[in-house]
Structure 1
Amino acid sequence: MAAAVALASPLRRLLRAPQPRRAVPAPYYFFSRGRCGATIAVTAGAAKDSAVNASVDRIVAEEVRNILYMLMQAERASQRRDVFHTNFLTPPIIKEAMVAIEKLADIKAVAQGGYPEAERCRISVGHPDSLTSNPDTVAALSISGNFRLEPCSHGDFLGAILGTGITREKVGDILLQGEKGAQVLVDPELVDYLTSTLEKVGKVGVSCTQIPLLALEYEPPRTKSFKTVEASLRVDALASAGFKISRTKLASLISAGDVRVNWTPVLKNGVTLESGDVVSVSGMGRLKVN
């Protein structure tokens, strides 16, 4: 399920602000487990937790700033008919980056994640004449092994990949396949490295091979809609209702870093949600506030 973050005001400020001439840092993007979701319609009112939300806005705004800096580089590349590719980005950043690209003259952008409903995507930007067809910027790998007795989670596969020294932004979606293993989308430049380096996920020995994108096996996320009435729009109130767990259990998940709002980890139970916000809990899926 895709989601959008309301960043209009920070983005306008970034577009007006001069961009620093410096190397772009490699931000760490988080990816939640689970592919099912739930939608909640809430009738309630609450005060804004401005301190925490401002901190979250700063994190996302900095990511957008990095994207805009890269877009400046891409605009220069476009003048030379070159094509520039970003790393894998999360849905909120993809949305804001695409909006920013629309403001730039003589530049075309294509977002690709390897399959139609991909969550994490790379954006290719350049002059329209240079992007006459979809660029080949995403590769698919099959990680296979006998996971019947040792089932592994999304986090296990991601941890094994990152354990080879690869950074998170070079890895796209991970499609779990139960006992068979998983299919992973990666930067094509890393295919040879991973196929020769990745040997184990958890305690299971694995083989890693490249497969065509058409061989990817995926299903649309299953969703359901329901209504609830809560005393506030706090994340612990809505998430406990949406995932049908106690607030005590949710508080422990927040402390462990397993709860995210719009792909950014929340730090406190009292973070206030707004319409359109997406809450994800590792291993449980995600919900969107209507």
Structure 2
Amino acid sequence: MNIYQHFRPEEREYIDQVLQWKSNVEQQYAPKLTDFLDPREQHILNMLIGEHGEVKCELFGGTSGLERNRALIYPDYLVPNEDDFQISLFEIQYPRKFVTIEHRQVLGTLMSLGLKRGKFGDILISEGRVQFFAATEISQFIKNNVESIGRAGVKLVETNIENAIASSELWDEKDLTVSSLRLDTVISGMYNLSRQKSLAFIQHGLVKVNWTLIENPSFQCEEGDMISVRGQGRAKIMGLDGKTKKDKWRITIGKQK
């Protein structure tokens, strides 16, 4: 069986990586810890590792309900705990009375350090408090190199992950029936837009799937995809629930509140 036929051509490199991780764990009897993975990467990983083999997989991003998680791939005789995921939580101290720090500013500052996106987890913001998760192996580097975010001077304080503020990302789930999994069709259903409006969003470069700009309206959506349309918010495909008698797709989506 050709395993690649179940995935997108551009995902082949990642699939090969996951299969190599799985093989290494099987041969070396030692666990493998990944960087932070986005929802689509997590979905692919779970499909390839499976549930019934000698290699298991768990996901954890620092607390429950997060979007980005590290994966621990391990032999079935191990019992992993949260410490195995090597995640640090930082709280950003800054003059809240005078400035506001936004999600994009935090991410931009972290990415400017020259590190991969996979070294950082979710960014949490609530009532002026700002926190982010990072891989423990780069925590000292971050502390040594982040002194400002936007126009604000900041101090990073590493704190216990039990002190994480509640994630503000809440999702309204609903079931949809769509004629196909084409991107323009799915967007029309998700955001209650006309097909013409969906096409215009895509053609004007306003649509991203899994944080990548997609300008092809016939792009095939899949379970785990995160879709953002500028001005319309974010939504994700929670599940593909099969087809109706009229050959339409039943899908479960989540829209960000």
Classify the TM-score, shorter chain.
0.7 to 0.9
Q: Distance in 1 between matches of 2:48 and 2:180?
A: 34
Structure 2 CA distance for partners of 1:228 and 1:150, relative to 1, 3 Å: farther
CA deviation after TM superposition for structure 1 residue 207, in Å: 1.1
Q: TM-score, normalised by structure 2?
A: 0.73
8 Å contact 1:107–1:128 — kept in the other structure?
A: yes
Change (3 A) 1:118 1:249: same
CA RMSD of aligned residues (A): 3.6
Q: Name the SS of the counterpart of 1:86 in structure 2.
A: strand
The farther-off stretch of 103-112 and 61-70 is: 103-112
Asked if the contact 1:147/1:204 (under 8 Å) is kept, the reply is: no
1:186 maps onto 2:134 in alignment: yes
The aligned counterpart of 1:30 is none
Counterpart of 1:286?
235
Q: Give yes or no for contact 1:117–1:220 (8 Å, CA) kept in 2.
A: no
Quote the offset at 1:252 in angstroms: 5.7
Q: How far, CA to CA, are the matches of 2:96 and 2:230 in structure 1?
A: 20
Identity of aligned residues (%): 21
Q: For the residues of structure 2 that align with 1:157 and 1:236, how far apart are their CA atoms? A: 31
AA aligned to 2:24 is Q
Q: How far apart, CA to CA, are the structure 2 residues paired with 1:166 and 1:64? A: 22
Closer, same or farther: CA 275–138 of 1 in aligned 2, 3 Å: closer
8 Å Cα contact 1:113/1:185 also seen in 2: yes
Q: Which has the higher strand share?
A: 2
* Alignment pair present for 1:122 and 2:73: no
What's 2:117 paired with?
168
Distance 1:282 1:117, change over 3 A: farther
**Cα distance 1:130–1:238, how it changes in 2: closer, same or farther (>3 A)?**
closer
Number of residues paired by the alignment? 236
43, 53, 58: which one pairs with 1:110? 58
The alpha carbon displacement at 1:217 in A equals 0.9
How far the C-alpha of 1:144 sits from its partner, in A, is 2.6
Shift of 1:243: 4.4
In the superposition, relative to structure 1, how do residues 105 and 267 fare at CA in structure 2: closer, same or farther (>3 Å)? same
Gaps of 5+ in 2: 238-250, 253-257
What is the SS of the residue equivalent to 2:23? Answer: helix
- 1: CA distance, partners of 2:202 / 2:98: 26
Which of 2, 10, 22 is matched with 1:71 structurally?
A: 22
TM-score, normalization by structure 1? 0.65
Would you say 1:94 and 2:42 are equivalent positions?
yes
Matching of residue 146 in structure 1 with residue 95 in structure 2: yes
Cα pair 2:148 2:154 within 8 Å, conserved: yes
Structure 1: segments with no counterpart, 5+ residues:
1-8, 15-53
User: CA 1:103/1:205 → structure 2, altered by over 3 Å: closer, same or farther?
Assistant: same
Cα distance in structure 2, aligned partners of 1:276 and 1:158: 22
> Match of 1:116, SS?
coil
**Deviation per CA, 1:125-172, whole angstroms, max 9, x where unpaired?**
233444353414211111232355543432221110011121111111
Write the letter of the residue equivalent to 1:280.
S
The structure, 1 or 2, with the larger RCO (C-alpha pairs under 8 Å, 6+ apart) is: 1
Distance 1:141 1:275, change over 3 A: closer
Asked if structure 2 preserves the Cα contact closer than 8 Å seen for 1:108 and 1:131, the reply is no
- What secondary structure is seen at the aligned counterpart in 2 of 1:217? coil
Choose which of 74, 81, 92 in structure 2 pairs with 1:133.
Answer: 81
What is the one-letter code of the residue matched to 2:209? V
Verify: 1:218 aligned to 2:142, yes or no.
no
- Seen in structure 2, the aligned counterparts of structure 1 residues 103 and 229 have a Cα distance that, compared at 3 Å, is closer
C-alpha offsets along residues 84-142 of structure 1, whole Å, 9 cap, x if unaligned? 21111122222222332237853332221111112211111233444353414211111
Please show how residues 196-211 of structure 1 align to structure 2 within 5 Å: 196-211=144-159
